[in-house]
Amino acid sequence: MRTEAVAAAATLPDFSREVHCLLGLPFDAVDLAGAEARIRDAASTGARCFLSTPNVNFLVNSRRDAAFRRSVIDSDLSVADGMPVVWLARLLGIPLRSRVAGASLFESLRRPTAGRLSVYFFGGALGAAEAASRNLSAAQGGLQCVGFSFPGFGPVEEMSHDALIERINAARPDVLVVALGARKGQAWIERNRARLNVPVISHLGAVLEFAAGAARRAPVWVQNAGLEWLWRIKERPALWRRYFTDGIALARLLVTRVLPYAWYQRRNAPEEPQLAYAGLEMREEGARSIVRLRGTWTRLKLARLRRCCHHAALAGRELHLDLGEVTYVDSAFVGLLMVLEAHQRRLGRRLFLLAVAEPVRRVIGYCCAEYLLADA
């Protein structure tokens, strides 16, 4: 029984993560140093860390591609790779301290000061992974390339055969960098990560281009001004169409979701006495854990609910949340629901939200997480 409990604990998500839902995707409230520490810790302990780096393009595509959205929700670490994402978060009071670009994270790992990690490149244009490997070896920094593969441009299924997976595993990298295009790359990781013996896996397409010398990254002042997209268009003019389409879609979300949510927060923010009350009752009925919540649930009040979720998940119970007496929730509450729903889904179960109060429904809608209400 002890062995089974340990095995079950190893498969649990980290319910202590401070994850916020913004326009349907989860974002961890970490800065660059925090994200780097998480990656180094995973590499040293062998713990699995699927890193996603959602930007505006992720936000837009996840609205029409449920599988793509799920791939980000299933991540162990999800960071804001785009200043527009950070600006939207600030408007809504979501504590994303700064942008955590995948390229910046990769550059931090390249510094030799904190120990050397090994990396494997998978994908990219013909010859790009080989060039990136050669450049990393010549630099002799904090990352050592232990292998690369060019799988071509076929469907995900053709890129997932045993020989390719075995080649990656045989190299025993700490970090696997995938570069297949965002949607295909996330789909490839979702399909194969259970077969990969690699602690850290992430789709970082631009990183491979930069490491190979095929593209130059924008100067720091351009990055900080939120204008790196203009620099990318200068480097690759064909990108203008994607940025234009994404910009129109983001403007629509700003008008229909972000601004109404900001106004709702301003008009309905609970007073101090209301913030102090967050009631929780839990009972067990057979294989079900039923949790009844009352009052106001915001990021500073979620510790008890996080422990409750961990206990129910560790016991392998089906979780039912009664939200009929909840008066106010925030993006961190919705983020925790996303993590919990993803865990239940991976086990072939559902998260049941019961008697969902109108204030909860409204915030879930503003957060573009309506899928959580499918069984409510």
Burial zone of 123 (CB within 10 Å; 0-12 exposed, 13-18 middle, 19+ buried): buried
Q: What is the mean pLDDT of residues 47-73?
A: 95
pLDDT at 11 over 80: no
Ramachandran region, residue 147 (left: φ > 0; alpha: ψ -120 to 50; beta: rest): left
Q: How confident is the model at residue 226 (pLDDT cuts 50, 70, 90)?
A: confident
All residues at 6 or more sequence positions from 132 whose CB lies less than 8 Å from its CB, including other chains: 121, 124, 145, 148, 208, 211, 212
pLDDT of residue 359: 94
Q: Which pTM was predicted?
A: 0.92
Q: How confident is the model at residue 374 (pLDDT cuts 50, 70, 90)?
A: confident
Higher pLDDT, 9 or 209: 209
C-alpha pair distances (Å), 314 with each of 49, 53, 161, 357: 20, 28, 33, 28
Backbone angles phi, psi at 49, to 5 degrees: -140, 105
Instruction: Report d(CA 145, CA 118) in Å as an integer.
Output: 6
DSSP assignment of 11-48 equals: TS--TTS-EEEETTEEEE---HHHHHHHHHHHHHH---
DSSP assignment of 142-179 equals: SEEEEEEE---SS-GGGG--HHHHHHHHHH--SEEEEE
Q: How confident is the model at residue 376 (pLDDT cuts 50, 70, 90)?
A: low
Of 222, 116, 219, the closest CA to residue 175 belongs to: 116
pLDDT digits (tens, 9 = 90+) for 87-134: 999 999 999 988 999 999 999 998 877 778 999 999 988 999 999 999
Higher pLDDT, 275 or 102: 102
Instruction: Report d(CA 96, CA 112) in Å as an integer.
Output: 27
Q: Which of 134-138, 225-229, 246-250 bottoms out in mean pLDDT, i.e. has the lowest?
A: 225-229
- Mean confidence (pLDDT) of the chain: 90
